Chains A and B, each alone.
Chain A
Amino acid sequence: MTRFLLAAMAGGLFGAGLVISGMTDPAKVRGWLDIFGDWDPTLAFVLGGAVMPMILVWRVAARRKVSVTGVPLPQMPPQRLDGRLLTGAALFGLGWGLSGLCPGPAMASLSFGGAPIWTFFAAMATGMALFGLWNRRA
């Protein structure tokens, strides 16, 4: 039960942060990526604000074996820079720049974004499902 409650609290806080920071505004995201045009540096503050506390939190996590609810804390995965990572990140960036949307903000906008957000979300879910099919064969 605690695990569900904590997950909901984290999800809610994530959603609030995305809306308040401006991450759910595709024009703002486009402005951040538009370094050769009318550049908007706001997202640097969003990323900085999110990364700085997490640097400390990872140190706390490194000193513990399990989470508060008794789940083993995640080990650092093998740090291999393979084609999947690079190609996946490249494709994601293209979609992100074209739409100004990434997965978190897209979901946070579902209630108020109307048809454009649902269109993006449906395509994103399809892309994830297609990956699942492709990955099982590959």
Chain B
Amino acid sequence: MNPDWIAGLIGGLMIGGAAALYLLGNGRVMGASGLLGGLIDGSGRSDRGQRLAFLAALIAVPALLVGGGVAERSEPVAGLGVLVLAGLLVGFGTRLGNGCTSGHGVCGISRFSLRGIVATMVYLATGVAAVLIARALGWSA
């Protein structure tokens, strides 16, 4: 297996490639929370079909890679109660802040968007804080 940073770089280039394809091909900013959130609250009704196609492939291709033994499945780092809390925070927060790591992080930073850059700095900071809090409280899977 490659050292982690090489795999990280290759995977990162693929993520950037996906964002490029979605932008230049379909004229859309690639953001995972927006793609899903628009289906859930109905705000993405106009381009529902392509959202579903994107998300179906986003689930299917990793299934093939892990099923085929190309990639490994991973273990959770938190118990179910913490996952419920974290999921609610991620769901509500990404919709309120209008983006997650793909939208603000990948597409926003690369566009030199002030909102994307600031949002990324804020969620990185609270993410670091959350890891410290989880450790202090002894929250792990």
Contacts and interface: CB of A to CB of B under 8 A. Distances in A.
Report which residue of A44, A64, A92 has the largest number of chain B beta carbons within 10 angstroms of its beta carbon: A92
Interface of A: 3-28, 30, 33-37, 40-55, 57-58, 60-61, 64, 66-69, 71-74, 76-77, 79-81, 84-104, 106-113, 115-117, 119-132, 135
User: Sorted from nearest, which 7 A-B pairs have the closest CB atoms?
Assistant: A88-B97, A127-B91, A49-B12, A21-B11, A123-B87, A97-B130, A132-B41
Contacts of B123: 89-90, 92-93, 96
Given A67-B23, A87-B93, A93-B124, 8 more contacts: A19-B71, A47-B105, A53-B20, A57-B23, A89-B123, A112-B62, A127-B87, A131-B41
Contacts, number: 483
Q: Is the interface of B mostly helix, strand, loop or mixed?
A: helix
B14 A33 contact: no
Report which residue of A15, A24, A42 has the largest number of chain B beta carbons within 10 angstroms of its beta carbon: A15
Report which residue of B74, B85, B99, B133 has the largest number of chain A beta carbons within 10 angstroms of its beta carbon: B74
